[in-house]
Amino acid sequence: MRHLMSPLDLSVDELNTLLDLASDIEKHPDKYAHVCDDKRLATLFYEPSTRTRLSFEAAMMNLGGKVLGFSSADSSSATKGESVADTIRVVSCYADICAMRHPKEGAPLVASMASSIPVINAGDGGHQHPTQTLTDLLTIRSLKGRLDNLTIGLCGDLKFGRTVHSLIEALVRYTNVKFVLISPEELRIPSYIREDVLKKNNIEFQEVERLEDALPDLDILYMTRVQKERFFNEEDYVRMKDFYILDKQKMELAKEDMYILHPLPRVNEIATEVDADPRAAYFKQAQYGVYVRMALILTLLEVKLPC
C-alpha cells in the first residue's frame, strides 16, 4: 500500500506517468466516469480549505466514487481529544482512500503509519503540500510543454508557504530548472530547502527582494499569499501582507509567454486587473487540480485503467 506524503514519494518516471494519466483524463473524461463506482474517499480536514477538499471530492465523484468526511477539526472527535492515529484506524473501516489536511507538520505521516488505506497529505502545517505540487506540475507542463529548461520565480511567503517547499523539491529533479526566490528578508525560504534541496543538488538559484528585478527573466511566476495563520503576531503579518502586489504595470516587464501561477486563495498579491491577462493561469490551475487528483486516486488505489 502506498501513501503520498511528499512529492518525492513518486519517482520522476512515476510522476511523468501520473501527469500523462491526468492529461488523458482531461481529454477523455467519459472513459473514467465509472472506474471507481465501488470506491469511497474520506476527506479529513482539520484546517480550512476550499480548492483542495472540493477538488478531491470532485475528483472522486468524476470517477464514479463516493465521498465522506469532515471539513473542520471542530466537527470531528479531535475536539474530544482523539488522536489522528485512532481516527484513521476507524476511517479505514469506512473508506478506501483518505486525504488529510492538518495544522501540525507530520500529522498525515503519523496517520499513514496507523492506516490500512492509502493516506494523502493534503497539506501539513507549513511543511508540504504534495497534491498542490502535482497540480502545479501539470499546469506548467500543459502550458509550457515541458518541465525542464525553465526559470521559475517564486514570490511572497517562501518561509511558511508549504506549496513552495513541495514544488521546489519536485522541480529540482528536472534538468536545467533555475529558481529566483523573491521574498522580503523575513519570509525567506527555510534553510533546509536552501541547503538540503537547492545547494545539495547544485541547483542555480538567486534570492532577491524586488519582484521588478526578477520579472523579465522568468518563464513562470509562482505567486503566494502571506500565510497569516502561521504568524506569531498580527503586527508582523500586517507589515508583510501587501509587500508584493502584481499589477498590470509590473506585468509589462514580463515575457509574453510567462505564465502566472498561484495556489490560491489570493488576498492582495495579484490585482484583479491581471486576471484578464492571457498569462494569468491561476484559475486554469485550479481545474488541473481535479484531473491530477483523479489520476492520483487511480494510481494509489491501483485501479485497472480503461484502454
Chain residues binding ligand NCD by CB under 6 A are 51-52, 123, 129, 132, 162-163, 225, 263-265
Question: Can the peptide bond before residue 190 be classed as cis, meaning omega within 30 degrees of 0?
Answer: no
> Could you please report the per-residue DSSP string of 136-183?
HHHHHHHHHS-SSSEEEEEES-TTT-HHHHHHHHHHTTSTTEEEEEE-
Q: Which among 3, 22, 39 has a CA at the least distance from the CA of 116?
A: 3
**Which sequence positions are flagged as catalytic?**
51-52, 80, 101, 129
Q: Which is nearer to ligand NCD, 15 or 261 (CB)?
A: 261
- Residue in the block written with cell 511543511: 127
Query: What is the b/e burial string over 102-131, where b = at least 16 CB atoms within 10 angstroms of the residue's CB?
Result: beeeebbbbbbeebebbbbbbbbbbbbbbb
Smallest separation (angstroms) from ligand NCD to the CB of 51 = 5
For 2, other C-beta atoms within 10 Å of its C-beta total 14
Stated as kind and residue range, the H or E segment containing 60 is helix 51-62
Q: Which is nearer to ligand NCD, 47 or 96 (CB)?
A: 47
Smallest separation (angstroms) from ligand NCD to the CB of 305 = 27
Smallest separation (angstroms) from ligand NCD to the CB of 93 = 28
Q: Which is nearer to ligand NCD, 228 or 255 (CB)?
A: 228
Residue whose beta carbon is closest to ligand NCD: 263
Smallest separation (angstroms) from ligand NCD to the CB of 129 = 5
Q: What are phi and psi of 15, to 5 degrees?
A: -65, -45
Smallest separation (angstroms) from ligand NCD to the CB of 295 = 17
How many residues make up the chain in this entry?
A: 307
Q: Which is nearer to ligand NCD, 39 or 293 (CB)?
A: 293
Q: Sign of dihedral through CA atoms 146, 151, 157, 158?
A: positive
User: Amino acid identity of 224?
Assistant: T
Q: Which is nearer to ligand NCD, 35 or 170 (CB)?
A: 170
